[in-house]
Structure 1
Amino acid sequence: MQYLKDDVKNSILQAALSEFKRHGYSNASMRQIANTAGITTGNIYRYFKNKEDLFHELIHPVYEKFVQYIMDIKDDFDHTCTKDTTDPLHYLRKVESTIVELFKESNVELRILLNMSSGSSYEPVKQELIQLAAHILMKVFIPGEDQQDQARIEERNLAHMLAETLVEGTCIILRDHEDGATVRQLVDELLRVYCVGIISKLNI
């Protein structure tokens, strides 16, 4: 009996992963998940309280890894980054490597987390990643201690704009490609273009 219960739960999870991948959290249908799993909709609720609970079961493991890696990078950046403006770009590459490695481990879950979690409790994750990238880029454009100087508003806006477009570009790559090697190549190229442009602007 326990084997049967585990088997049913795994069928629900596989069906849900496929549904979230196709339609995202907001548009995913519990009825369709049940149909794909070969059970009644009511039977899902014997295993999961609601759609959010089911989504959490699938996405939380990769989310925990993602948050831990990103926080480690931020802590390391805040404690070791110098005023050398070439140094912060190293941390953007660490963020990129983290995303690519997580993609290799859990590519469907990471794609859902970053691209298709709107309406769930995980929706802010992409914005948090943008904030980290902007935090790093601030150090590139405003290397001094005082980042509140009104004369620096343009640089802060530029850092945030670049961070947002860089993260969005990475998310598009994750959305459109499933092969890890292709993802790494495209993300590497995206980051290279950004870094070349940043360094050119700074006249380094």
Structure 2
Amino acid sequence: MAQVLKEEVRNRILDAAEKVFYKKDYRSAKLTEIAKEAGIPVALIYTYFKNKEVLFDAVISSVYLNFESAFDEEESLENGLPSERFVEVGESYIHELLKERKKLIILMDKSSGTKHTEAKQKLIAQMQVHIEVGLKRQSKKEYDPMLSHILASNFTEGLLEIARHYQNEEWAKEMLKLIAKCYYKGVESL
């Protein structure tokens, strides 16, 4: 019974921290605000989490981005246009990511002052490499790497805009489909 209560308190702290980090950001969020949101004394947070940074890490851990495996899987597909490979592999990964959209936004937009400050830039860099691989695969022409960087930045920001303005799962799927269509039709025209 005590273990169930401990897990319930830990989950209340995590839920409260997610709300506070989402509303504010890492730097301006206070443990006292998180404790108040969770309905517990602030000292109890330290029973479960060493400090605010460890709590932040626990909040975002389920969405910490490593697109490399999805990119590798997509790149390993031998047949099909880039848009078809995205539908086969990447789309489902992004749908899962959007289910955790508040945590994604916390990681990408509200992590200044943590070891995750560069998460968005790391994602863009991973995506840039993926785009460069795709361009080399489909075209004999060599493009300035800035093109891949711009495309990666725009796609990442589009994904984040879907997360920031999320209405429901169906809406998010439709918006992702439209953004991917615009993106891939543009890339496939090169």
Same fold at TM > 0.5: yes
**TM-score where L is the length of structure 2:** 0.81
**TM-score where L is the length of structure 1:** 0.76
2:133 paired residue number: 139
Residue from 80, 92, 95 that aligns with 1:97: 92
Matched, 1:184 2:173: yes
State the 1:178 CA deviation: 4.4
Q: Deviations over 1:144-167 (max 9, x none)?
A: 8x9xxxx94x53111111111111
State the 1:32 CA deviation: 0.7
Residue from 68, 72, 90 that aligns with 1:71: 68
Q: Which amino acid aligns with 2:107?
A: L
State the 1:177 CA deviation: 0.9
Matched, 1:127 2:121: yes
Cα RMSD over matched residues?
2.8
Number of equivalences: 188
State the 1:33 CA deviation: 0.6
How far, CA to CA, are the matches of 1:5 and 1:166 in structure 2? 41
How far, CA to CA, are the matches of 2:21 and 2:136 in structure 1? 40
3-state DSSP class of the match of 2:50? Answer: coil
The residue correspondences of 1:1-204 to structure 2 (distance < 5 A) are 2=2, 3-63=4-64, 66-67=65-66, 70-81=67-78, 87-93=81-87, 94-104=89-99, 106-143=100-137, 152=142, 154-200=143-189, 202=190
With over 3 angstroms needed to count, the CA separation of the structure-2 counterparts of 1:165 and 1:177, relative to structure 1, is: same
Q: Which amino acid aligns with 2:29?
A: A
Unaligned runs of 5+ in 2: none
Q: Which amino acid aligns with 1:176?
A: H
